[in-house]
Each structure stands twice: as C-alpha cells, then as structure tokens.
C-alpha cells in the first residue's frame, strides 16, 4: 500500500507550524432591524407575498401623493395662457404654465412632478375630448415643454437665470415701507444666483457693524452663476453652412457677455443705492464718531481746563469784537447822518447865495431890470464862488448875506479874497 504524501504546509507535514490559537467564543444577541426587517415583518404579519406587498405599498404611496396634491391650493389659470402658441416656448413662463408661479425657483422636483401630473390630467386631449371640450392641444404642448425645461437641471438653471418674474424690484427712495423688510426681499431674490452659499442675511436694525460690512462685502464681490444661454439665438440643425453656425455661436457668446456685464453693473448700482440709504451706516458712523470723541476726551483729560479757558477767552474776544462792530456801525451811521446834514446845509447855503444874487438884482446896481445875459453872468459868478469855497467858508459867507444891505459888499469882498488867493482869475459882473 502506497504511503500518502501530504502537501507542503498542510497540518501534520514537516513544514507545518502553529502561530496562534483561536479566540474564545463570545455569545452576542443579534436583533433584526432596518427597513428590510420591517418589510419582512409586515409581509409575515399580514400574510403577503413579495410582489403583493410591493404593489400595495406603491398604491399607498401614489394615493398619498394625490392627497397631498389635492390639499394644495391650485393656481388660477390665466385665459390668455390657454391660447399660447407652443412654438413661442422661449417667451413662455414655464412656472406659470404648471401653476407654480408662487414657488418659481424654490419649487422642488416633487412639486414640479405633481403640478405636471395635475395639468396633464386636466388638459390631456383625451380628457378634454371626454369632457366635450373643443380646446385644442396647444396648451397641452406648452405643459409638456414646461415639464421638459423644468425637469432638466441644466435647462431649468438657464431659465431661472432669465426669469424676471422672480426678481424683486428695489423700493424707491421715497418709499415709506419697512426698509429692512423691503431690501431683504430684494437681496434674497439676488442671492439665488450666488455660487457661494449660504448668502448672508440683510438683517435689521439690530445687526452689528461686522455683520453689515460682511453683507455688503459679499455682494460687492458677488460671484454669480447666472448665465444667459436661454436667450441665445437658435442655431438651425438643418444648416450645412458651418460658417453660418460659427457666426451665430460667436454672436450668442458676445450677447451673453454683454448681458453678464450689464447685470454686474446693475447689481453694483443696486448695492450702492441700498448702502447710501441704509440707516445703519449713519448709526455706525455716529457711534464711531462718539467713540472717537470719547477716546480723544479721555486722552486730553489734562488739557480740558485749558481748552475751557481758551473757549471762554474766545467767547470774550467774540463779544468784544461784536461790541466793536456795533460801535463802528453806530459811528458809521452817525457819520452818515452828519454827512447828510452837511450836505443839506451846503445845499441850503447855496440856495441862500443864489437868493442873495437875486436880491441885489443880479448886480445891476441901478435898480433896473437885469437882462438875461446879466442874470446868467451873475449866476455864473455865484457858482464860481461856491465851487471855490469849502463847506465852512461857504457857511460863513452865507451867514454874511443875511443882512440884505451888506450883500453887495460881501460878494465884492469874497471876490477879492479869491482873486488874491489865486483861486479865481476874474469875475464877469461882480465889481472889485
């Protein structure tokens, strides 16, 4: 009988060796858990097969979805919406078509699915035919297009980029509503385009300066995912002209870049307007100013008294200056009155001199009626005398004319004095 040869390394062979022993037995309690066990327990307790349990569970889920859909308030359909041309689908409001206007970009995939199902059940051509409606299938095509766009994440994102109905317009400068509530809605709408999430909240009057600064910094450096492919000009699929296709592609890229630039400028202006109106910025400036003044006041504690003394001195100087100005003003007024009085006195003296010339009959000397030439010459001599005399001399001369008998003599004396002083060369009718 042949001897059996053990393979190398097998137990009992020469190369076999024991490295360690098995661990001791540890009893553990194992309990069935999880959805699989619950499904198993449900089938056992209710006596169902696998296929029967799955069918019942699916029906229950459908019924639950239908009940949830029935509980939602259905959006009223605009009559004009039912007559839309399905070919003009780019200008179509897909959310409105599915009755999701109040949700828009916030609508979940489940809400879109349920809304589409309700619209299909209501506007399917077969359903309309059974109800005796003459409505064509144009709106049904609009429904299908809306579902096609909104069920595709990429195409829905493109539509959301240009969905103006989701935009919240900023309040006017004269708006009297709640500033924080109105602008919060605006930035919530703008924040949907941010690549960075979450978007900082606008906050209210209780927000700290750090929070407000962080908010404005976020929107001044806004990183938007917004694109404008949805507005691209369609490229004909049946065109064999590659140059034409490339031209349209370049045209679309330029249009998208232009819209992107305009949107960035629009958002920057929006942030600028809000910042200029934000009452919190004024509060922060006032608080910062007060804090700065407080720090300055504390640093200059030793010089407070000197500042107060300087202030009092300045006030005193100001008071003295005002008093000096008032005195100067009064002196000016008095001087003006004196000048006015002197002017009136001069006029009076001149009238007296001219009247004296008339009293001596214009220097005719014989009591005859003075001729026109004599009158003119006499008045010219009187004007010449008045021009050469200052105010005091004029007053003194006029006083001498009060005595009518001495008028002729007075004129002759003043004429001689003026000629002697070299002020006048000669007179026309006054005798020397």
Over residues 107-121, the pLDDT tens digits come to 999 999 999 999 988
User: Which of 148, 153, 131, 270 has the alpha carbon at shortest distance from 202?
Assistant: 270
SS (H, E, C) the chain: CCCCCCCCCCCCCCCCCCCCCCCCCCCCCCCCCCHHHHHHHHHHHHCCCHHHHHHHHHHHHHHHHHHHHHHCCCCCCCHHHHHCCCCCHHHCCHHHHCCCCCCHHHCCHHHHHHHHHHHHHHHCHHHHHHCCCCCCCHHHHHHHHHHHHHCCHHHHHHHHHCCHHHCCCCCCCCCCCCHHHHHHHHHHHHHHHECCCCCCCCCCCCCCHHHHHHHHHHHHCCCECCCCHHHCCCCCCCCCCHHHHHHHHHHHHHHHHHHHHHHHHHHHHHHHHHHHHCHHHHHHHHHHHHHHHHHHHHHCHHHHHHHHHHHHHHHHHHHHHHHHHHHHHHHHHHHHHHHHHHHHHHHHHHHHHHHHHHHCHHHCCCCCCCCHHHHHHHHHHHHHHHHHCCHHHHHHHHHHCCCHHHHHHHHHHHHHHHHHCCCCCCCCCCCC
253: pLDDT strictly greater than 90: yes
CATH topology for the 345-420 domain: Helicase, Ruva Protein; domain 3 (1.10.8)
| pLDDT, tens digit, 9 for 90 and up, residues 330-356 | 888 888 888 888 888 888 888 888 888
* Residue predicted with more confidence, 384 or 181: 181
207: pLDDT strictly greater than 80: yes
* Residue predicted with more confidence, 28 or 107: 107
pLDDT band at 62 (very low <50, low <70, confident <90, very high): low
Alpha-carbon distance of 397 to 391, in angstroms, equals 10
| pLDDT, tens digit, 9 for 90 and up, residues 259-313 | 999 999 999 999 999 999 999 999 999 999 999 988 888 877 777 777 788 888 8
> Peptide bond preceding 89: is omega within 30 degrees of 0, i.e. cis?
no
Strand partners, 224: 194
In order of 12, 105, 404, the CA distances from 361 in angstroms are: 179, 114, 11
403: pLDDT strictly greater than 90: no
- Write down the pLDDT at residue 11: 54
7: pLDDT strictly greater than 70: no
* Residue predicted with more confidence, 424 or 96: 96
Residue 361: other Cβ atoms inside 10 A: 17
CATH topology for the 72-166 domain: Helix Hairpins (1.10.287)
pLDDT band at 1 (very low <50, low <70, confident <90, very high): very low
Provide the mean pLDDT of the chain.
84
Rounded to an integer, the average pLDDT of 113-130 is 84
28: pLDDT strictly greater than 80: no
Residue 353: other Cβ atoms inside 10 A: 23
Alpha-carbon distance of 93 to 34, in angstroms, equals 44
426: pLDDT strictly greater than 80: yes
103: pLDDT strictly greater than 80: yes
Check: CB of residue 82 under 8 Å from CB of residue 100: no
- Write down the pLDDT at residue 10: 57
User: Which of 429, 348, 332 has the alpha carbon at shortest distance from 386?
Assistant: 348
The domain spans of the chain are: 41-71, 72-166, 175-299, 301-331, 345-420
Rounded to 5 degrees, φ, ψ at 2 are -75, 145
60: pLDDT strictly greater than 90: no
Check: CB of residue 6 under 8 Å from CB of residue 12: yes
12: pLDDT strictly greater than 60: no
- Write down the pLDDT at residue 50: 84
Q: Which residues contact 253 (CB under 8 A, 6 or more apart)?
A: none
Whose tokens are 């694109």? That residue is 227
User: Which of 341, 366, 351 has the alpha carbon at shortest distance from 401?
Assistant: 351
% residues pLDDT > 90 (the chain): 34
- Write down the pLDDT at residue 325: 87
153: pLDDT strictly greater than 90: yes
Check: CB of residue 252 under 8 Å from CB of residue 232: yes
């Amino acid at each position: 009988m042949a001897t059996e040869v053990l393979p190398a390394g097998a137990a009992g062979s020469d190369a076999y060796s024991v490295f360690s022993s098995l661990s001791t037995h540890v009893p553990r309690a194992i309990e069935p858990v999880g959805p699989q066990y619950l499904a198993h327990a449900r089938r056992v307790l209710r006596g169902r097969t696998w296929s029967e349990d799955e069918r019942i569970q699916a029906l229950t889920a459908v019924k639950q979805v239908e009940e949830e859909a029935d509980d939602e308030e259905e959006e009223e359909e605009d009559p004009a919406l039912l007559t839309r041309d399905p070919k003009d689908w780019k200008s179509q409001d897909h959310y409105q078509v599915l009755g999701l206007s109040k949700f828009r970009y916030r609508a979940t995939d489940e809400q879109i699915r349920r809304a589409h199902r309700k619209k299909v059940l209501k506007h399917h051509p077969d359903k309309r035919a059974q109800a005796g409606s003459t409505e064509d299938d144009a709106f049904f095509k609009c429904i299908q297009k809306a579902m096609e766009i909104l069920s595709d994440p990429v195409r829905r994102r493109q539509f959301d980029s240009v969905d103006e109905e989701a935009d919240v317009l900023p309040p006017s400068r004269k708006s009297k509503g709640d500033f924080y509530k109105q602008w919060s809605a605006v930035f919530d709408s703008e924040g949907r385009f941010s690549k960075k999430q979450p978007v900082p909240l606008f906050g209210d009057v209780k927000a700290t300066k750090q929070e407000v600064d962080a908010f404005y910094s976020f929107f001044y450096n806004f990183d938007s995912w917004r694109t404008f492919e949805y507005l691209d000009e369609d490229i004909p699929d049946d065109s064999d002209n590659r140059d034409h296709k490339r031209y349209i592609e370049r045209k679309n890229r330029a249009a998208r870049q232009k819209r992107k630039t305009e949107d960035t400028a629009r958002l920057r202006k929006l942030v600028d307007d809000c910042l200029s109106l934000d009452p919190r910025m004024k509060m922060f400036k006032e608080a910062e100013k007060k804090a700065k003044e407080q720090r300055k006041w504390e640093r200059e504690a030793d010089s407070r008294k000197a500042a107060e003394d300087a202030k009092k001195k300045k006030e005193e100087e100001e008071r003295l200056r005002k008093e000096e100005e008032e005195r100067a003003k009064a002196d000016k007024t008095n001087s003006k009155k004196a000048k006015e009085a002197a002017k009136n006195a001069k006029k009076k003296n001149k009238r007296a001199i001219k009247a004296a010339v008339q009293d001596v009959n214009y220097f005719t000397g014989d009591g005859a009626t003075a001729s026109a030439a004599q009158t003119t010459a006499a008045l010219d001599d009187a004007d010449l005398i008045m021009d050469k005399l200052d105010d005091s001399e004029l007053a003194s001369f006029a006083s001498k004319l009060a005595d009518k008998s001495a008028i002729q003599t007075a004129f002759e004396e003043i004429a001689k004095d003026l000629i002697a002083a070299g002020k006048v060369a000669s007179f026309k009718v006054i005798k020397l």
